[in-house]
Structure 1
Amino acid sequence: MTTAVVICPGRGTYNASELGYLGRHFPDPALLARFDAQRAAAGQETLSALDGAGRFSMVKHTRGDNASGLIYAASYGDFLAIDRQKIEVVAVTGNSMGWYTALACGGALTPDDGFRVANTMGTLMQSALIGGQLIYPWVDEDWVPRPERKRELLDLIARIGAEPGRELYLSIDLGGMLVIAGDAAGLKAFEKAVEPVQQRFPMRLGNHAAFHTPLQEPVAAQGRMQLPVELFRQPDLPMIDGRGKIWNPGATDRGDLYAYTLGEQVTCAYDFTKALHVAAREFAPDLFVILGPGTTLGGAVAQSLILAQWRGLGSRDEFRARQESDPLLVAMGLTDQRNLAVQGQA
């Protein structure tokens, strides 16, 4: 039996090439119908209609109130599709809003309640749309760590954020990337202060608010008003959160889990890199399975494993060589890799 840690992706993973993902892959029509019913009851367009649209709309499909539900459903559907006869899931984690999906995969929320949490928080984020995000690397193009560069960037973020009239924070520690969030003035100051690198950074993230910063306190408060603690329960699988804390079956206080999920997880930096370090070292899985939709999280997972010096990895070339000979990652958003994980495939 192959052991695996499952990783749930966050925002920005349902794009034009993912249109129709639910139609192609979601394994439980009755469950999808229940998700659609939740959306319809809230006066929102159903996931089936969004996913089945004739063309992808950046304006519509990447909005928080639409993207969160689409991503949650695609990810949870992929989780259901994993062949448990050949893969033993030993723990789950997620990036950013992927934490909500991880709660459902881990059993701390039912599938329907997980959708309720993800859809509610995505809708609240979109309604408020406080601040924005950008992404910037601190490793080189071969993914070799440059820790001194990371320290310089974190110092720069702190200096800009301390200036009057500017808000700027680390949002997500994402492998070899820093996701940075703040208000318009803070983001603009950062963009002016750093040199463009790799022909695309610093890169603004469209339809993203200042997630995982104190600017989201009003959203967190609204979430606690709309989502009761009774939704949460003991997990069935260990869950690794955005601080690297493990929530174990039989030893989880649901009040603490609720307080973290709708408090610190919303308003403080999310350390995805640390979550991966903990996953590798505490569970030593044979595989890391990244749920769909999309394929953009694979680089951050690989970079996090390099930073953890997992199995001697030190660069992108070493990771690629290992992937070709004995894969460490399976990204279910890629057809050839998906076939390594789903039921009925070799």
Structure 2
Amino acid sequence: METALVVVVVVFALGFDYTNGFHDAANAIATSVSTRALTPRIALLMAAAFNLLGALLGTEVAKTIGSGIIDLSSEAGIGTEQGLIMVLSAVVGAICWNLITWWQGLPSSSSHALIGALTGVGVVAGVTVHWQVILDKVVIPMVVSPLVGFALAFLLMVAVLWIFKNSSPHRVTRRFRIAQTASAAGMALGHGLQDAQKTMGVIVLALVAGNFQQTTDIPLWVKLAAASAISLGTYSGGWRIMRTLGRKVIELDPARGFVAETVAASVLYTTAFAFQAPISTTHTITSSIMGVGATKRLSAVRWGVAGNIAVAWVLTIPAAAAVAGIVYLALRGVTGV
């Protein structure tokens, strides 16, 4: 029974990773596609490849998810089956919210959906929830990273406009369109570094709950499985959200697309390696797009669309927590655990 539950949890976790890939594919490539720097299919192939590479570059974020949100170790007094059902409920809750926001074309955060789902299950089950870790590595970065992304993108775009103010617009556009290939690759690498690690953390959480391992170290097969799943999901595309990020927030040109991607990727790398914080790639790239758009004029940003995105951001953690809590109660009722 326990082994079967672990297998089910791993399968659902990889399913979440897959939805993360097609849900967040827009994060890496929407700006490049909308500026015609890359064709959609080439952009997806490149994003899938760099997601795979990025997923193998580190484990710091995975360890935060695997041990920092809720405590399912044997020392916490949680039964094996109960712990596995908790992890399964969290993954199902996160998948449900991903699918809802994908259907609505809203670039919400898969990361926060997963963290919210784990928190919701922990609260309903009455286990230890590490609120200080959630505050330090989720809530504060959730607020700070979009602000940093917006400000840095705005300032860098102002600098680019000043540097190239006397250059030929046609030549500048062509050069930045080429440069966007590199910035989109960097964004995809950062997405893999951040988001695939979150699934690794969930799988390790299940392995610990099922007594298959005692530490939060990430086995190689977990890294490869999570990296492959998010890459396949990315390649399948996320056209609804891509349209929102690439066209509905602001009409992007290659220079603004390059700056937005470069800033967002830099924020992703910094938070992953320096702070081990599982921040949202969605929040970071969206705020960077708004930052470069604001250099035209504030009215150039479609603030109504931005407001709808902000509502999805605010709702993600509590909504995913509620869904996961309901799933947990239902599974407990069915299994009698």
Q: Give TM class, smaller chain.
A: under 0.3
Q: Which has the higher helix share?
A: 2
TM-score, normalised on structure 2? Answer: 0.28
TM-score (norm: length of structure 1)? 0.27
